[in-house]
Amino acid sequence: MTQRSDDSKSTGSSYVTVSDGTRIFFKDWGSGQPLFFHHGWPLSADDWDAQMMFFLAQGYRVIAHDRRGHGRSTQTDKGHDMDTYAADAAAVVEALDLKDAIHIGHSTGGGEVTRYVAKYGKGRVAKAVLISAIPPLFMKTDKNPDGVPKDVVDGIRDGTANHRSQFYKDITIPFYGFNRPGANVSEGIRENWWRQGMMGSILAQYECIRVLSETEFYDDLKSIDVPVLVMHGEDDQICPFPTTGARSVKLLKHGTLKSYPGLPHGMPTTHADLINADLLAFIKAN
């Protein structure tokens, strides 16, 4: 059983308390067809600012939550697995009684969307979007021989566990492609990433690295019946396009791929106008 509490109706922010007592923070603005945004590691609903503002102005109802342990949600030591992440999202959907919704996920949030739609989406989800997303499998394994090497994942673990503040400053450079020639480096974007990361629980973020790197989504992708747009930057230095987006679209029944030469992992922020326009076209398409 889930409980909803409105901390401030004037700000459109609320919490849902899920079955293990964890409080999941979410924003819910506007009216119209609901668009539900799922953020990446180790961020929060704030990472969707550019999309929330744009689609609110377009007449949509926009919802975004903070994953458990991230942002303003409870810093719990429990439930750090993809099934629980999806169940938490389902609890917010249930509390708001969302129907005909479009679920949009970035990075780890794309994995969360995939698991949520596969497990809970029947009758509630119209479409889904995976942006720079981790499926079908992030880390290199026997099944995924050209995935991200384990030593790279271990480096993310070490950085998060042992020098999180500096590591979160440093990772913004490849995340947004700011290490590429001619890149327009924004210190504000870097600081906002750092701010969001440091808001959350170090434990939850450390555990989430295991979840994002080791969870398999092959069966989830194959089972999804609704139209899915896969958007991926071809210069993604976090989730390499050939092993993630390029493979996910082949597993979907109704998948469409839109890849972007030269664009980085964090393209919803660095190229918000382009991404928002393409999202809007997909949302409006019959």
Give the Cα separation of 80 and 53 in Å (integer). 30
Is residue 281 exposed (0-12), middle (13-18) or buried (19+ Cβ within 10 Å)? exposed
Contacts of 237 (CB under 8 A, 6+ apart): 174, 175, 177, 179, 264, 265
Of the residues 65, 236, 248, 271, which is catalytic? 236
Three-state secondary structure call for residue 39 = coil
Give the Cα separation of 63 and 14 in Å (integer). 11
Give the Cα separation of 248 and 242 in Å (integer). 10
Give the Cα separation of 127 and 218 in Å (integer). 18
Within 13 A of 17's CA, how many CA atoms are on the CB side? 6
Active site residue 259: no
Of the residues 107, 132, 213, 248, which is catalytic? 107
Active site residue 158: no
Of the residues 80, 106, 265, 271, which is catalytic? 265
Active site residue 232: no
Full 3-state SS string of 220-267: HHHHCCCCEEEEEECCCCCCCHHHCHHHHHHHCCCEEEEEECCCCCCH
Structure-block tokens of residue 183: 């890149």
* Residues labelled catalytic: 107, 236, 265
